[in-house]
Amino acid sequence: MVLLTPFARVIPLPETIMRCRYSVVAACILASFAATAEQEPIERLEVQGDFRRLSVQNIAGSIAVVSEQDMQRSSAQHLDDVLNQLANVNFAAGASRGRFVQMRGIGERSEFIDVINPSVGVLIDGIDYSGLGISSIAHAEQLEVFRGPEATRFGTNAMAGMLNLSSKQPDFRRDGAFSATLANYNSWQLSGMFSDAISEQVAFSLTVDKQVSDGFIENAFLERKDTNDIDELTTRARLLYRHSDDLALQLIAHHIDQNNGYDAFSLDRNRTTLSDEPGQDKLNSKALALRSDYSALSGIDMMLQLSWLSADSDYSFDEDWSFVGISPGWEYSYFDRYLRSREQWTVDYRLVSDEQGRIFGNTDWVLGFYGSSRDLDLQRLRRAGSEFREFDSSLQRDNLAVYGETSSALSEQWTLVVGGRVERYKDDYRDSGDLSLQERHTMWGGKLSLNYQASEQAMIYTLLSRGYKVGGVNGEALSRAGDDGFSALLQQATFEPETLVNAEFGVKGAALDGSLVTRVAAFHMWRHDMQVKGWLNPDLGPEFAGFIDNAGRGRNYGIEMENRIVLHPSFILHVNAGLLKSKLGPYVTGNEPQIDMTGRDQAHAPRFTYQLAGDWYLTEQLMLQGSVQGKSRFYYSDGHNARSSGSEVVNLRLSYQLEQWQLALWVRNALDQDTAVRGFYFGNDPRDEYVPHTYEQWAEPRRFGVTASYQF
């Protein structure tokens, strides 16, 4: 089948489009042919995070909608388990969980002293969690994955894409679900969702999830197996008040209490650590949002959301990864701790035209205003031997933006979409070194797409979009510039904003009877003043410092596809695949010796990602689901050449449905592969006098468990 034929290499966009044109034509022909069948239309997945709720098949851009059923296919309990399903998506772990997401090879991989500016943002119920990650996806309504720049809709935190998670909407009919899971590594999970009406006008929904696990690390020195454990409680609630058909008010409340351990890196480069002071990854966050939807005005719908979030985190680790006495004469004993607090307010006010409000009778429009204020405070406590060092910093960031979009029907089949956003940000930075800096920048992004609706079920689009993200201050570089060997960091005080231009061509098609759903996109992206993470390690010993630098330019291009094929009434095949080629522009690392990285692949940008999954209905009650998720090897950093190995992860799930009950037996990573989620290259082992090695953090090993669910 032409649609599923992979290419041996990824090539620049014009040739890429030529080579994939047969796949595109095949998708259109198959979708159009199937659309002639006299069947009732299938249920469509709607994108909730765009300006209007539309089918994913009718929006220009590479968007994936992951439903609750898709999450169950791999028995997903966390965002990590879901992201592996998606083409051209990768992630890096911060501690015991994956927190940093990369799309099409672009995204951050860690956060220490410096405030990161995410290339891939995270929204939960419209509240900005960018940089905090997602603790739970239990009983989520759906997860939307926007690949490519989405500045018009989301602004600075969506230069490479956006994750938009929606919790369960309140239902005026009683709806509920409960599940309990037991798994190896002393793991268990209890989660529940309940929604009901309080009155004819008021309804609510409540989701609670508790997850506990010892983790997958054994600490040989402390003789413990829970130093990298997981202990998380997540609560999300919504209260809906329908005053009338024209006015709806909604109150949203979130609470996350995360008390995870952090003991992930091993001097022996396996899952056995030697730390005498394991760290932790704690997060306590609270969030509230008030949303109003008003549609009584002629021609205009109004949306207003005001949100507040407060988060305190405690992130620490044993910097030497060892114990006192491991190698007298060579050893060192350091411990690092980062205490962060974050408080933010955001307001998003939007006017959206309806049929009566169209301009010239054929143009829908959106006009909006966005504002945010964020206070970020850091206290770093570091013990180096018997010496204690402290570094404090505060950053206040204010953003103001106006945005708009028009969608004009040029004919029955052709539609032109034009959108843009202008955003002004102001940073006020202060630290304990008596440094005070102010940054002011105005940035802009936009999109231009021409869409051709070949039939009701098939669309072809061309898209040109521009994204951006803010610059900032290298607090770590400035704090270490006075130390011996680190004077070069004075040249790395700040870094500039980055911009991204994306050209994309895609096809979306679906059969009316649901036998085929396909989405194919070819893209080419140009990065300007791209931000990269550099490291200075003067004597290749345990002392090093990180900083963010601008590498001039970079390129990312490739293809991604998603297919759902009903091969038989009892068997459904899912095929997702992504091909990616990325290149660093002129860039020489700050390390000694310096390394010229010009033309090399960008960090955490695997050239090939895929998922092959199937749902097999053995009987009316019994279903077998399986998936193979893989990615090719990739570089861990833009500052060194250490690389991961390629990986293939096999997941299986056997479930039995009996009326309202379901019992499922599942296994993730059935072949017990070691899959890396983070890597460094430096010397940290005193037993070999600090010879540089590649140190890796591993994803979960083979997991198996049983889940019982009840729905009412």
3-state secondary structure of 25: helix
Say whether pLDDT at 355 is over 70. Answer: yes
Pair of tokens at residue 697: 């953090």
pLDDT of residue 361: 87
Give 544 or 180, the one with higher predicted confidence: 180
Q: What is the mean pLDDT of residues 54-80?
A: 89
DSSP string, 412-479: SSEEEEEEEEEEEEEEEEEETTS-EEEEEEEEEEEEEEEEEEEETTEEEEEEEEEEEE--EE-HHHHH
The whole-angstrom separation of Cα 459 and Cα 31 is 10
Place of tokens 């454990």: 229
**What pLDDT band is residue 615 in, cutting at 50, 70 and 90?**
very high
Q: Are residues 607 and 580 in contact, defined by beta-carbon separation less than 8 angstroms?
A: yes
Q: What is the mean pLDDT of residues 176-205?
A: 97
Contacts for 18 with CB less than 8 Å, ≥ 6 apart:
none
Q: Are residues 102 and 91 in contact, defined by beta-carbon separation less than 8 angstroms?
A: yes
Say whether pLDDT at 478 is over 60. Answer: yes
Residue 153 CA neighbour count, 13 Å, CB half: 25
Q: Are residues 671 and 650 in contact, defined by beta-carbon separation less than 8 angstroms?
A: yes
pLDDT of residue 168: 93
The whole-angstrom separation of Cα 268 and Cα 516 is 49
Q: What is the mean pLDDT of residues 391-417?
A: 96
Say whether pLDDT at 30 is over 70. Answer: no
pLDDT of residue 16: 39
pTM, rounded to two decimals: 0.91
Q: What is the mean pLDDT of residues 339-358?
A: 95
pLDDT of residue 539: 61
pLDDT of residue 439: 86
Say whether pLDDT at 38 is over 80. Answer: no
Q: What is the mean pLDDT of residues 30-45?
A: 46
Measured in degrees and rounded to the nearest 5, phi and psi for residue 104 equal 55, 35
**How big, in percent rounded to 5, are the helix, strand and coil portions of the chain?**
10, 55, 35
Domains of the chain: total: 1
Say whether pLDDT at 630 is over 70. Answer: yes
The whole-angstrom separation of Cα 625 and Cα 668 is 12
13's enclosing H/E stretch is helix 13-35
Q: Are residues 546 and 533 in contact, defined by beta-carbon separation less than 8 angstroms?
A: yes
- In angstroms, the Cα distances linking 445 to 150, 502, 617 are 8, 11, 46
Place of tokens 């306590």: 284
Say whether pLDDT at 2 is over 60. Answer: no
**What pLDDT band is residue 540 in, cutting at 50, 70 and 90?**
low
The whole-angstrom separation of Cα 563 and Cα 574 is 6
CATH number of the domain to which 116 belongs: 2.40.170.20
Say whether pLDDT at 430 is over 50. Answer: yes
Say whether pLDDT at 275 is over 60. Answer: yes
What digits encode the pLDDT tens for the residues 563-575? 999 999 999 999 9
Burial degree of 38 (CB within 10 A; 0-12, 13-18, 19+): exposed
pLDDT of residue 595: 86
pLDDT of residue 31: 43
Looking at residue 600, what DSSP letter applies? P
Of 125-129, 469-473, 580-584, least confident by mean pLDDT is 469-473
Say whether pLDDT at 473 is over 70. Answer: yes
What digits encode the pLDDT tens for the residues 192-223? 999 999 999 999 999 999 999 999 999 999 99
Residue type, 240: L
Say whether pLDDT at 360 is over 60. Answer: yes
Say whether pLDDT at 124 is over 50. Answer: yes
Pair of tokens at residue 82: 């879901």
Say whether pLDDT at 358 is over 50. Answer: yes
Average pLDDT, the chain: 89
pLDDT of residue 493: 76
What digits encode the pLDDT tens for the residues 657-689? 999 999 999 999 999 999 999 999 989 999 999
pLDDT of residue 251: 98
pLDDT of residue 538: 64
State the residue range of the domain holding 120.
2-711
Beta strands 161-166 and 120-124, pairing class: parallel
The whole-angstrom separation of Cα 657 and Cα 659 is 6
Say whether pLDDT at 80 is over 60. Answer: yes
The whole-angstrom separation of Cα 376 and Cα 116 is 11
What digits encode the pLDDT tens for the residues 286-317? 999 999 999 989 899 999 999 999 999 999 99
Of 105-114, 422-431, 701-710, least confident by mean pLDDT is 105-114
pLDDT of residue 588: 84
Of 7-11, 28-32, 157-161, 359-363, least confident by mean pLDDT is 7-11
High-pLDDT (> 90) share of the chain, %: 71
**What pLDDT band is residue 485 in, cutting at 50, 70 and 90?**
low
Pair of tokens at residue 510: 């679906």
Give 393 or 19, the one with higher predicted confidence: 393
pLDDT of residue 94: 77
What digits encode the pLDDT tens for the residues 690-704? 999 999 999 999 999
Q: What is the mean pLDDT of residues 652-657?
A: 96
Measured in degrees and rounded to the nearest 5, phi and psi for residue 152 equal -60, -45
pLDDT of residue 535: 72
